[in-house]
Chain A
Amino acid sequence: MTDAETAFATLSGHSRRSFIKGVIAAGAVVSSSNHLFRAPGASASSVRATLPRMISLRVNGVSRSVDVMPQETLAMTLRYKLGLTGTKLGCDRAECGACTVLVDGVTHYSCSLLTNVVRDRTITTIEGLEAPDGTLHPVQQAVIDEGGFQCAFCAPGFIMSMVAFANEKPEPSREEAAHALSGNLCRCGDYNKILNSAMRAAEYVRRMA
């Protein structure tokens, strides 16, 4: 199996079921309480603790130990426990793609991925693209050169999708780029510049190869 397939199998198997159970147990009847996290030490009597809480995550090249609850999503862990707030929550429910991160190089909605599922996997967020010396990833540079995005709340998610796509398809057509980015929503409607950026990014990546 490829990494993508592994991720899919994991997601569609045990973890998704326990995720749903967890949400139900935590009170799915609360209209506005979809996607939550619980602080370490707080009462968790309503959630069955069947998974280890201290887990190790490889985020942006660094191994991090983190205390997570069984129903905790990766987006919440990244934002509220690891301080990686570049990953945005736009919908909390896999509708908008603002929370897109890479797990073993494959795009995932981190709002709908349990942190427990990705332990010991390689996670890349928007913060992990820039080189330590400040050199931007070619996708980031392409966006700057095209003046891409308006409000840019969707930008981290789009950029992660662009990175995965640039690695997968070095010579894309504009149409292929649009399909690859169709899991991300931009409410400002800046799609023209986003596609221009994706095409320029492909050019930069080719040049580097």
Chain B
Amino acid sequence: MALIGRDISPPDLRAKVTGRAKYAEDFKADGMVFAKLLLSPMPHARVRSVDASRALAMPGVIGILRASEVNQPDAPGEAALTDEPKYVGEPILALAAVDETTAADAIEAIEVDLEPLPFVVDPLESLRPGGPDARLEGNVLRFGESGRELVSVKWGQADFSSAKAEGRLPMGEPTDEWEHGDLEAAFAGADFVLEDTMVHQSLTHHPMEPRSSMAYWDNGRCYLYGSTQSTQRTHASLANRLDLDQGDLVFVGQYCGGGFGSKIAGAPIYEVTALLARKIKRPVMLRINRYEENYIGRGRPGFQAWTRMGFRSDGKITGIDLYIVQDHGPYGRSGDYNTAGAVADLMYQPEAMRFRGISIYTNTPPRAAQRGPGGAQIVAMLEPLVDKAARELGIDRVEIRKVNAPSHDSAFGPGRATTTSAFVREAIDVGAERFGWSEKQRLSGQRDGTTVTGVGVGVSPYVGGSSGFDGLLLVRPDGKLYIHQGIGNLGTHSMADTGRAAADELGIEWEDCAVIWGDSSQHLPYSSVQAGSQTTHAHTRANYAAALDLKRKLQGIAAAELGGPASAYRVAGRRVSGPGGSLSLARAAELAVAMGGEYSGQELPEDINDVTRASAAALAGQGAMGVAKDTFEHEGSTWSWVVGFAVVRVDVETGDVEIVDYTGSADCGVVVHPRSLAAQIHGGSIQGFGQARSQKWVFDPKWGVPFAHRLYTARPPGILDVPLAMDWAAVGEPDPQTPIGAKGIGEPPVGAGSAAVTSAIADALGGRCLCRIPLTTDVILAELEGRAPPHELTEIHS
């Protein structure tokens, strides 16, 4: 029986339930000392001087590391330590001492002279005439004729005054713009046109495990223990950052306590641990607590946006005009806003669309991709507006989504790309059936005591896979299949599950498979980052490619030993069998070692990545090796879909919202691991609930200081905030552009969960869309009581 499609508990679960699983902070080395960070108290400042003499004289203090001692990448890149902090909480320096208390006392004894610099926490404030820039070089990263340039962009007073008069988002000149179709004609041909200004606030990733790390050096080699989503890629990126040959860095990250996009290639702060350890010649533990994690742990970019959408009487969307101002944080480049434009075009397939956007640097914590980056925001913002149109036009809210859903060959976005498959209508249908849409929507508006019921639906697409990576397999003389995985282990189980593609092809039971992962010294292949829902797609492909290679070699070994044509040999049931008889996999591995050449990895394919080549070379001669690059056909862009259905009860006296029922249905191709798929759908949707309801940033605009800096001040959903039981469904149709047929699923449930809840809340409010995310209790209560909202139209951090 094939392993693909079965529930198999992951191989690391026993370690996780016994406490033996070691996360970064659980490692220890002889002579280990502790580091603390000095964080900036100001949103933007220049360090004029640092006097650490008192601190360094304290008993137990060992040394400090300054910004001048770490990499300082070109603007707008982020350094691990800085002398020009650009947000409250940015690390300025690190200090090591024999224990954490001493280190913290010593941090207090350091005198830092800071020169305050102009700062801004709201993108629109930065765009005002004469408004402050978050960076000394400006507030915008633009792609000009001379390449990337940092510039200061200000809009005109008229842009702001006309917006104020019309009660909408100010829309000056954007940096990004694309369109297709005839927008004017599309709106002229519409039977209903809506227009709204919308705000989506930023939110912190907050994985349960903060980004602590431990490092030491032995014989010029660095050993670093950190939390990461993607082992091999983090190893490569850290080696680069530390200016080391990859062979001189051992990176261990076997267990990752969550990342959600914030630890794609580890974290910049790991550089501090490694460099401080090298400087003071002692192992260093840099423990990051929740408060620090709030600052350096990354966040999802916020949007201040405006849209005009045109609908025909049958619900078909004729045109979308979308403008997004993105709250970027101080560093790097986040493409959330661009993705949001493409997602809107993909999911609604308007006849014409215009996207305009600008991303503004602000003195708020750095942003990174957060599960469904760009997609999760825009879906939750636009889906309640589609509801509004459905109501106006008298169309069922599920039907209007089917009317607009794309087909397999529908084009979208600025490049008019097409998807590999889109079973969206099917996902809507199986979800609606499973949820009982037709019965449950009758609950809409039902009053029970002080609560009103709302029913909602949200459709959410996201990229579901990449290709072109390598697989590396070894059958050793013990007869077991060793699956080397360079992807990470953050609980999605793809580290184990994508190996099934290889095991199935070789007819090997899961008990006879061993997964090797999480340690760069264990010879890992070149792998995709474990982000953007890539691994299920990318590594079922890579492992399948390596399995085909291994199968061919096993057939060749059997033919050489037993006679007859290689192609007549079958690999299954721990044996290679054919016309000349049969031999065990264990024996085939021994023969591979004896035969050498490509059979045991002495000769390697030309097209594999150098990382894979080095790993394969280290394993050569130890068994029968399968190693290959994924060169399978992959035409088009791979997208997965989740449709969320929710029932909420809004308490009209308190403004509280209870989510009482939820079903998520997915189009993610072939289902590899049903129980884990359910966990992705539910877990992602629950993160969407937090996004829709409770997690937001609040800044004091006068001082640029955040008020929401812990879990309780921007709380993710707890077990009592979600339905007692949640349901799911999947279409299960294979994607035609990948051999196993499976697509990734991590990203899209977040938008589905958030949109289903925002849609359901609007439904409970009689169709009133508040165009604001999160929909916190105070916002809902003000609406229920007919009061002015507790925020200005475009206010983003209040």
Residues of A within 8 A of B (CB): 26-27, 29-39, 42-43, 46, 69, 71, 79, 83-93, 95-96, 98, 125-127, 129-130, 136, 140, 143-145, 147-156, 159, 174-175, 178-179, 181-182, 184-195
Complex CA distance for A71 and B491, rounded to whole angstroms: 35
Residues of B within 8 A of A (CB): 7, 9-10, 13-14, 16-23, 25-26, 28, 36-37, 39, 41, 58-60, 89, 98-102, 104-105, 107-108, 206-210, 255-258, 260, 287, 289-292, 490-493, 675-676, 678-679, 682-687, 710-712, 716-720, 722, 724-726
Partner of A189, one of B9, B257, B687: B687
* Known interface pairs A33-B107, A147-B675, A185-B208; A136-B18 also in contact (CB < 8 Å): yes
Complex CA distance for A34 and B491, rounded to whole angstroms: 29
Q: Is the CB of B687 within 8 A of A182?
A: no
Nearest chain-B residue to A31 (Cβ)? B39
Nearest chain-A residue to B109 (Cβ)? A27
Q: Is the CB of A95 within 8 A of B720?
A: no
Q: Is the CB of A182 within 8 A of B719?
A: yes
Complex CA distance for A44 and B206, rounded to whole angstroms: 33
Cβ of A197 to closest chain B Cβ, rounded Å:
9
Complex CA distance for A91 and B289, rounded to whole angstroms: 6
Cβ of B744 to closest chain A Cβ, rounded Å:
15
* Known interface pairs A127-B18, A151-B256; A32-B9 also in contact (CB < 8 Å): no
A-B CB contact pairs (8 Å), 16 listed: A27-B104, A33-B104, A39-B60, A42-B99, A91-B711, A96-B208, A127-B19, A129-B18, A130-B18, A140-B17, A152-B16, A153-B207, A153-B209, A179-B720, A185-B718, A190-B683
Nearest chain-B residue to A42 (Cβ)? B60
Cβ of A205 to closest chain B Cβ, rounded Å:
16
Cβ of A72 to closest chain B Cβ, rounded Å:
9
| B99 proximity list for chain A (CB < 8 A) | 36-39, 42
Q: Is the CB of B60 within 8 A of A174?
A: no
Complex CA distance for A124 and B441, rounded to whole angstroms: 48
Partner of A143, one of B17, B89, B720: B17
Interface residues of chain A: helix, strand, loop or mixed (majority): loop
Partner of B679, one of A36, A89, A130, A193: A193
* Known interface pairs A37-B99, A85-B19, A144-B17; A182-B255 also in contact (CB < 8 Å): no
| A154 proximity list for chain B (CB < 8 A) | 208
Complex CA distance for A94 and B210, rounded to whole angstroms: 15
Q: Give the most central of A38, A153, A178, A189: most B CB within 10 Å.
A: A189
Q: Is the CB of B58 within 8 A of A43?
A: yes
Q: Is the CB of A150 within 8 A of B720?
A: no
Q: Is the CB of A36 within 8 A of B290?
A: no
Q: Is the CB of B19 within 8 A of A125?
A: yes
Complex CA distance for A66 and B256, rounded to whole angstroms: 30
* Known interface pairs A91-B711, A190-B679; A32-B257 also in contact (CB < 8 Å): no
Partner of B208, one of A143, A151, A174: A151
| A91 proximity list for chain B (CB < 8 A) | 289-290, 710-711
| B725 proximity list for chain A (CB < 8 A) | 174, 192, 195
Complex CA distance for A92 and B212, rounded to whole angstroms: 13
| B712 proximity list for chain A (CB < 8 A) | 95
* Known interface pairs A31-B39, A93-B710; A140-B18 also in contact (CB < 8 Å): yes
Q: A26-B105, A150-B258, A155-B16 are in contact. List 6 more A-B contacts (CB 8 A).
A: A86-B18, A86-B20, A89-B25, A92-B289, A153-B207, A178-B724
* Known interface pairs A38-B99, A85-B22; A188-B16 also in contact (CB < 8 Å): no
Q: Give the most central of B17, B210, B257, B722: most A CB within 10 Å.
A: B17
Q: Is the CB of B102 within 8 A of A43?
A: yes
| B59 proximity list for chain A (CB < 8 A) | 42-43
Partner of B682, one of A93, A125, A159, A189: A189
Q: Is the CB of B100 within 8 A of A187?
A: no
Partner of A191, one of B22, B58, B291, B719: B719
